[in-house]
Amino acid sequence: MIKLAIILSMFSSLGFSKTYIIRMKKSVGLQTSSLRSYLGGVKIKRLDLSFGNFYLVSIKTKSQINQLKKLTKSKHFISVDRNTKIQINPITHKDSYIKRSKRSNRRGIDDTLFKDQWALKNTGDNAASRKVPVGVKGMDLNALKAWKNNKGDRKIKIAIVDTGLNATHKDLAPNTFINEAEAKGADGVDDDGNGFIDDVYGYDFYNNDGDPKDDHAHGSHCAGIIGAAHNDLGIRGLMSNVQMIGLKAFSGSGSGSLAGILKSIDYALKSKVDIISNSWGSSSNPSSAFQAAVDAAEKQGVLFIKAAGNSNGNNDVVGNDSNLKNPNVIIVGAHNGKGEKSYFSSYGKKNVHVFAPGSAILSTVLGTGYEKFSGTSMATPYVAALAGLIKSSEPNLTAPEIRDRIINTSVSSGNLGKYSVSKGRVDAHRALNNITK
């Protein structure tokens, strides 16, 4: 009764011409045509997802919405959700690093822009951001110490659900996943038989084609944070060895929907990834369809890393789609160069697990360039990469064990004690060595 009341309330609060995602019991075997007939000729499409029997339904009239309400009372029905529209809006900075990113003439030194990556090595004077004119030395991921233990492994696959991935960027190409069957196969043919044509680097679920080329920059920025090559060029990712799969669920303007996200997550699970990085969000609690996707990731043993949001809100008391309880999930807030909560970052002593660098983060973008973005979007891939480093070192650890490791090895810092489960920020060296004191 409670579930139905919530559904009916949702219908009454929304107008017509809306798109919904309905889930039916698989045992029913309902066909798209029969559902279309039942709902009065609506536009309907079956979503080919492995974790449920989902349909995308466009409602335009009062009679159609009344029929959908009746369907929710059926024994064949499981859930209904709005196909929520989600917008990615990173906080950008004016600095451009394109001209200073040429390859160094000397071998064996840090990549040419590494000195600007305070998240990896905070010298204090390289960590300025909005509202933080000077950072504090050492308030970083402790990456240099961590790399003495491990720099990653090409066996680790991380899916990035975002605006796509700039696979031709010289700093991203070495660690971008390549589907060899499709790369060596014929154009326009599903060479590997996975149901997707020409998916060499991943897939574009916004334009429904095999090329997840980034036309925004946000996804490529997140990719650089995870796995920009250690190649004496530009920046460094927290992992120097990894396979990053680009899954484009958002357009060049940063707009996307729940349906595209669900399809992206499903592709990632079918691709047997270890980690899914999600730098996006909405101000509503997790929908039943999204929860089903996260449950499927948990069942498969996949870590699900999710941004806490940039509303400076307390996720313990306000709605947020990152409010997930699964043991394979890590929700990430952002801290600045002083080791304090970034002014924009959402938080929650119950619903946000850790904090990671997220203010004025330098990373790869479109073309050959590098730019600084801010957001929990930037903190999230750092935690995804940290999980990848741990998985590289200890491949037998489960997703919940890695989650607990990252939380328990976090260090207290600034004002973070009151903002998260861990009461602090992540430290890669401590996490790799399981240092909890």
Residues involved in catalysis: 162, 218, 377
Instruction: Return the half-sphere exposure (C-beta side, CA atoms, 13 A cut-off) of residue 222.
Output: 36
Tokens coding 348: 């929650």
- Biggest CA–CA distance in the chain, Å, is 71
Q: Which residue has the tokens 């009344």?
A: 66
- The answer to whether the CB of 388 falls within 8 A of the CB of 239 is yes
Separation of alpha carbons 374 and 377, rounded Å: 7
Give exposure, 14-44, as e/b (b: 16+ Cβ within 10 Å).
eeeeebbbbbbeeeeeeeeeebbebbeebeb
Separation of alpha carbons 21 and 416, rounded Å: 38
Tokens coding 22: 């309905």
Under DSSP, the state recorded for 334 is E
Tokens coding 35: 């559902």
- The answer to whether the CB of 420 falls within 8 A of the CB of 349 is yes
Q: Which residues contact 74 (CB under 8 A, 6 or more apart)?
A: none
Tokens coding 328: 């394979």
Tokens coding 340: 């304090």
Q: Which residue has the tokens 């659900």?
A: 161
- The answer to whether the CB of 425 falls within 8 A of the CB of 411 is yes
Separation of alpha carbons 330 and 383, rounded Å: 8
Q: Which residue has the tokens 């970083």?
A: 140
Q: What radius of gyration, in Å, describes the C-alpha atoms of the chain? A: 22
Closest CA to 177 of 265, 269, 246: 246
Closest CA to 250 of 89, 380, 371: 89
Q: Which residues are bridge partners to 79 per DSSP?
A: 23
**Other Cβ atoms closer than 10 A to 428:** 28
Tokens coding 371: 């730019």
Task: State the pairing for strand pair 255-257/85-87.
Answer: antiparallel
